[in-house]
Structure 1
Amino acid sequence: MTTASEADFVRHWSPSPGLVFLGPVEGSGLKDRSYLLQRGDGQIVQLSELLQLVMATVSPLKSADELARDVSDAYGRELSVSGLLHLIDTRLEPMGLVHDADTDAADAVPPPTANPLLALRLRGTLLPEKLVNTLAMVLAPLYWSPVVAAVLVGLAAVDLLVLAKGDFLASLEQVLLTPALLLGIFAMLTAGAVIHELGHATACRYGGARPGVIGVGVYLVFPAFFTNVTDSYRLGRAGRIRTDLGGLYFNCLCLIALGGAYLLTGQGLFLLAAALMHFEMIQQLVPTLRFDGYFVLADIAGVPDLFNRIRPVLLSLVPGRAVDPRVAELRTFARRLVTIWVVTVVPLLCLALGWMLLSLPLIIEQTADAIRQHAGLASEAIAAGDPAAAALSILSILMLSLPVIGLAILLYRLLSVLLDLLGRLGRRLWRMTAESEGVVPRHLRAVKPQAGKSLQMGQPLQLGKPLQKGRSAMAIALPPAAMPDEVPPAPLRAPAHFQARAAIPAGAIPDDVPTLQDFLADRPARPAPLAELGWQGAVRRLSRNSLSLGPGRRELSHLDAVEEVQRRLDGPRTVVVVNPKGGAHKTTATLLLAATLGIQRGGYTLAWDNNETRGTMGWRAPLAGHAGTAVDLMREVDRFEDPVLGRIGDLDRFVRYQGSAQFDVLASDEDAAGAATIGSREFDRLHTALRRFYRIIMVDTGNNMRSTNWEAAVAAADELVIVSTVREDTVASAVWLVDGLRERGYQEKVSNAVTLLAAPSLHTDLRLHDRTRTHFETLTREVLDVPYDKSLVSGGPLNYQALMPGTREAWLRASAAVMRGL
């Protein structure tokens, strides 16, 4: 095992200039949460949660030791200095995200950039960013839903009228008799292409992102327009798809204008231009190349780099071969969609390329004949003084030449890639042969990747969403960062066969001897879960596991919530449920949260009715077997404060075990004639004693914010849960509570609080609900809804199994939100 040297502890790093944190990826097709970061050169980098935390924490004022400690505190798992160095040296620094604070950033090695086979090159600006944003802001109302519906209806009406009245043969004859009209059609289609790009920019701005320039470049050798909508990566899936389709939507506006012009004037060039624009729109929806349809499909799947997934998907389809990590990291839906795309696109591209290769001699011959004819026409037009005809012939020569030149460039690049692959394969075979003969030292051998990793040491980075119409920067998809206990060790040194064993001191372990950690780090990734619910689970059971389908979207969301609930805590935690109005759902929320945590975490959860006199939790908690309360426990709290005398089994005389729900209830005083009360001192003593026996304590509070035990509970809370039914008076009470907490100095606890809005009946006041949600979203960390359930109406003993499945799922998500705050 390798450890960080003393010099490594004092190393300092600075973030590269121009970095912009774009936030988490919304609608991602990856299983693990990922984040987006924009480099100063406009490249988009996709980071795992751990790498995002490192980038957010790195500072030239922090040493490696301080940085590792801060990241560990934020991540909830320990990151050693050696693990931090590995992440920076092998992931972040090579990508140009950080550099040594003692060196100038300008002296650093230029970071890698995406360079796909099919990409725009020789780009130039057509409309500057400021002008594009001004136009997009003015045109943004075109994306209002009523306007969109009106445009689509208008397009359908115009198309029907054009089909009914249009004469395509007459229009074609008119244009052929006047060849100069072809230049007019070309000009209209060019203007339509610019308007198409403006549609992408306007959709981007309407979604809340900021578009960049509209420019022109060369796609292979064909001129093509593009729009810089890099910032749309920060939008959700719907916003990105709207951006992808924005160009086609603005083409619909152009078609209405062209169709109307034809109906008004009868000029054939408008009809032919509209027909060609329809064809271009259909072409844009084809997902085989990097057109709009490709980006729509990529955003639906949540995978920005479809072409870079071709190789992993094909290798994963080989019988007997393990699933490639770049395929295993995808969610089930995304994985199926990408696989369908790969098995469809690869044969089509291979057939198209094969047809072009077979037809290349004939294409070259016919192209040469056509160029000679147009060259003769151009000479005659120049001699006759007809500049329009001469320009048309020259344009025809250019358009005829471009496909052949583009095909030649594509074949050249494909040949270069093939030769590079053959070279790497040859070097690998030579290395394998040399290693088998003991020639190559071990430190020169390729490092075996960790299970579940998609990037080997020294392997080129996988490049993501490419530059194309509608996108102007590449998404460089980094693989998920290694967890602190999964950081690969440094390569082992070659065995020193010429050294005598006596050179190793007695009892010392040489550096090149693998340890238990090395062995455990090489374990394969955990098998993916199988579907239990939905049609996927039904198919799996009916086929008796012959079809091992993975979970669907809903089941994956359920499993994610369960994982959140089961996360490890560093110590006991106290959650306090508050609302100073009776009937606000506090007791119900406390019991259901405790039941969910107890079932999913396996016990060591307590629901405590912290009422200064009497509460109702004891009445709603079955399986008591005794009448012990917090007052009774207070009389013997001394023994439970003692680390020797106090035993968890002795608490059974005071707390009420809830059977299969796997949590305990500590009831408040139930003696109608009793005079005992619980104050702040009593609460603190009980709380200190109970923290020795429970991991999570859910505290239900009374309705008096001025009582000392209420104040003591809020002061001791690690997290607050604000509960309210969607009723005007109950919501107003919760708002008043938050104002009071903030005035008392509990701003941070309010900011970290979870708000639960409970439906009081099947028919909820939607306007009040929206007002309430908007208010609390600005004050608390999360706001969640829990549905109405008739089994809770009676106020009788809680039966968790009697809840509707949707209710149990909602309280599971609420519990996951609570755990995220701990």
Structure 2
Amino acid sequence: MTVGEEVTPPPAWLDEARPRLRPGVVVGPGLTKGTSTVHFVADGETGAYLQVGPREAFLMSRLDGTRSLTEIGAEYAGRFGKRLAAEHWGQLLGLLGSRALLEPADPAQLDLLREKAEAARGSEGRSALLWRMPIPRATDLVPPAARRFGWLLNPVVAVPLTLAGLAVGVLVGLNWATLYAAIEQGPARWPLTLAGIAITWVMIALHELGHGVACHRYGGRPTQIGLMWRFPLVAFYCKVDDVVTFRTTRHRVATSFAGVYVNLAALPPIGALWLWGPQAGWVHSLAASLLLFGTVAIFFNLLPVLQLDGYHMLEHATSTVHLQSEAARFTAAFLRRGPAGVSGYPRRARWIYAGYAVLAAAVLGPAIFLLVRLWFGTLAGLWGPAAAALILIAEAAAVAAFLTWAVRRRRSAAR
């Protein structure tokens, strides 16, 4: 400022305005996404979500109706070293108003946003390999289930049950041959198979309901419960989108773990039936099959390289978004340009993405090698080594082409 230059005072409305977010609007914590930090804003009344940066989240979290924009602007300057001009406030308030996030909101606008959010949820996740079919009013089951069984999520109860389930899982692994023999030697194979399938479907449903109950317990609500086609399986699913707004890391991790917790809690009574129930017949064989399948399902669900519960637990534990795809992008940048290619990443993000890339390689590398070796041996036994090698090359080319197409389609959709 030069001598004699007039300073334009801030508009009076900055001292007078005290805007307030609607009660159902929640601003989530900062989550790492590539080189940036993002916050998710959830509107519980319309079911809509908004992704914003740290500066916008800072301002929105202070719109409580008690502080003026001038007071919030002073806090903002102390945090970010820059004052907001009146036009910047106008842009922010215009954005929030267009999404009906401020009080008072127009009921007609809320209805329109609610319809748009519902349509967006209905159209996402639909492809040849993934298809979701929501079950109408299935989410209404969650609040009463949370009232009756929410106490099972109390750490005093959950920790012993989890440890007991893990102990049974270890015993299953140590006695795998014995359990498998009980299935092979058991009578009435078809009734056993049908009973196993029916109980398995019930356990999958309870697994997904567990996610919904945990989400409800920690202040969110599931947006969908239904059936999902994920090649090559059909299973239940539960969308708990509100988890990204939970302020506590423990609550986010617990919500993702709740499904596996249900499966772990089921293992001890089934193990008791195996040990102290009838030692022959279809009940004994059924208990063996449930123990084997249940343990395998828990193991695969906890693998952090598959986009199942274990992956989401790791994602929430590290406070990241799209951990797998961002780690792949980080690795590709490093392979292309070395350290210079990832210099724009914060130090914490570099450690997380590099660690996940190493973990994925350590798990998937041996698994792919063993799978290819087994498949090659099978093909070689049928048609000879030369034909087996040609088939593997053709399959590798087909997989590479499919992955290339999937990546390009995802980038196009993102644009």
TM-score using structure 1 length:
0.35
2:342 maps to which residue? 323
- Any residues of structure 2 matched to 1:439-478 within 5 Å, and which? 460=414
* Equivalent in 137, 152, 158 of residue 147 of structure 2: 137
Of 331, 336, 339 in structure 1, the residue corresponding to residue 351 of structure 2 is 336
Letter of the aligned partner of 2:42 in structure 1? Q
1:416 maps onto 2:376 in alignment: no
1:205 aligns with 2:209: no
Retained in 1: the 8 A contact 2:40–2:245?
yes
Aligned partner of 2:342: which letter?
Answer: V
After TM superposition, the structure 1 = structure 2 runs for residues 149-188 of structure 1, keeping only pairs within 5 Å, are 149-152=159-162, 154-155=164-165, 167-175=178-186, 178-188=189-199
1:78 is matched by which residue type in structure 2? R
Deviations 1:287-325 (A, max 9, x none): 112111101111121102202312134314532634364
| 3-state SS, counterpart of residue 289 of structure 2 | helix
Q: Within 2, Cα distance between the matches of 1:78 and 1:238? A: 35
Change (3 A) 1:281 1:72: same
- Conserved? CA contact 1:140–1:205, under 8 Å: no
Letter of the 1:307 counterpart = Q
Distance in 2 between residues matched to 1:252 and 1:54, nearest whole Å: 42
C-alpha contact (below 8 Å) 2:100/2:109 kept by paired residues: no
Q: Which of 299, 315, 332 is residue 314 of structure 1 equivalent to?
A: 332
Report the equivalent of 1:51: 56
Structure 1 or 2, whichever has the larger Rg, is 1
| Shift in alpha-carbon separation, 1:281–1:71, aligned structure 2, 3 A | same
Which amino acid in the other structure matches residue 50 of structure 2?
V
Equivalent positions of 1:204-243 (< 5 A) are 204-235=215-246, 236-243=248-255
Q: Distance in 2 between matches of 1:47 and 1:460?
A: 16
Between the two proteins, the alignment pairs up a number of residues equal to 350
Residue pair 2:125, 2:132 contacting (<8 A) in 1 also:
no
Q: Write the deviation string for residues 67-112 of structure 1: whole angstroms up to 9, x where unpaired.
A: 99897466333334665688799xx69xx8479x9x98969xx798
**SS of match in other structure, 1:215:** strand
CA contact (8 A) 2:183 2:289 kept: yes
Is the contact between residue 127 and residue 215 of structure 1 (CA under 8 Å) also seen in structure 2?
A: no
RMSD, aligned CA: 5.1
C-alpha contact 1:316 1:324 (8 A) present in aligned 2: no
Q: Could you say what secondary structure the match of 1:216 adopts?
A: strand
- Matched with 1:191 is 202
CA displacement at 1:49 relative to structure 2: 3.6
Specify whether residues 264 and 355 from structure 1 end up closer, same or farther in structure 2 by C-alpha distance, changes over 3 A only. closer
1:122 aligned onto 2:132: yes
Q: Residues 80, 149 of structure 1: CA spacing in aligned structure 2 closer, same or farther, 3 A cutoff?
A: closer
Select 1:345's aligned residue among 346, 350, 360: 360
Cα contact 1:33–1:48 (8 A) shared by 2: yes
**Relative contact order (C-alpha < 8 Å, sep 6+): which is higher?**
2
8 A contact 1:119–1:220 mirrored in 2: yes
Query: Which residue, out of 21, 26, 39, partners 2:25?
Result: 21
Q: 1:286·1:294 contact (CA, 8 Å) conserved in 2?
A: yes
1:201 and 1:294, CA in 2 relative to 1: closer, same or farther beyond 3 A? Answer: same
Distance 1:181 1:70 in 2: 69
SS in 1 for 2:304: coil
Contact 2:27–2:61 (Cα < 8 Å) also in 1: no
Mapping for residues 370-389 of structure 1, pairs under 5 Å: none
Secondary structure, counterpart of 2:252 in structure 1:
helix
Mark the CA change 1:306 to 1:270 in structure 2 (over 3 Å): closer, same or farther. Answer: same
Alpha-carbon shift at residue 128 of structure 1 (Å): 1.9
Task: Deviation per CA, 1:638-669: give whole Å up to 9, x if none.
Answer: xxxxxxxxxxxxxxxxxxxxxxxxxxxxxxxx
Q: TM-score, normalised by structure 2?
A: 0.65
Once the two structures are TM-superposed, the CA of residue 207 in structure 1 deviates from its matched residue by 3.2
Check 1:79–1:356 CA distance in 2 against 1; reply closer, same or farther (3 A cut): farther
Structure 1: segments with no counterpart, 5+ residues? 1-14, 59-66, 367-406, 425-458, 462-822
The percentage of counterpart residues that share the same residue type is: 20
1:188-229, CA deviations, whole angstroms, 9 ceiling, x for partnerless residues?
221111122222223333434334543221123421222232
Separation of aligned partners in 2, 1:365 and 1:176: 36
Alignment match of 1:303 (pick from 303, 312, 320): 320
- Select the residue among 74, 83, 86 that pairs with 1:78: 83
**8 Å contact 1:21–1:36 — kept in the other structure?**
no
Structure-1 separation of matches of 2:316 and 2:380: 42
User: Which 10-residue stretch deviates more, 234-243 or 260-269?
Assistant: 260-269
TM-aligned CA distance change 1:340 to 1:160, over 3 Å:
closer
CA distance in 1 between partners of 2:132 and 2:398 (Å): 15
1:265 is paired with a residue of what secondary structure?
Answer: coil
> Aligned in 2, Cα 1:320/1:128: closer, same or farther, shift over 3 Å?
closer
1:264 aligned residue: 277
Task: Measure the CA separation in 2 of the matches of 1:38 and 1:150.
Answer: 34
Greater helix proportion = 2
Matched residue of 1:50: which SS? Answer: helix
Tell me which of 287, 298, 309 is aligned to 2:304. 287
> CA distance change for structure 1 residues 298 and 184 in 2, over 3 Å: closer, same or farther?
same
Aligned-pair CA distance for 1:419 = 5.4
Give me the whole-angstrom Cα distance separating, in 2, the residues matched to 1:410 and 1:203: 37
- CA deviation profile, 1:160-191 (whole Å, cap 9, x unmatched): 88778994254222347523311211112211
Shift of 1:132: 1.4
Deviation (angstroms), 1:277: 0.5
Name the SS of the counterpart of 2:84 in structure 1. Answer: coil
| Deviation by residue 1:684-725 (Cα, 9 ceiling, x = unmatched) | xxxxxxxxxxxxxxxxxxxxxxxxxxxxxxxxxxxxxxxxxx
Shift of 1:264: 1.3
Q: Which residue in 1 is equivalent to 2:4?
A: none
Q: Are the counterparts in 2 of residues 128 and 214 from structure 1 also a CA contact under 8 Å?
A: yes
Contact 1:155 1:252 in 2 (8 A): yes
Q: Is the 8 A contact 2:62 2:72 kept in 1?
A: yes
- Matched residue type, 2:338: P
- Opposite residue 198 of structure 1, the aligned amino acid is L
Cα distance change, pair 73–174 in 1 and its aligned pair in 2 (3 A): same
Identify if the C-alpha distance between structure 1 residues 285 and 73 changes in structure 2 by more than 3 Å, giving closer, same or farther.
Answer: same
2: CA distance, partners of 1:224 / 1:282:
17
Q: Secondary structure at the match of 1:25?
A: coil
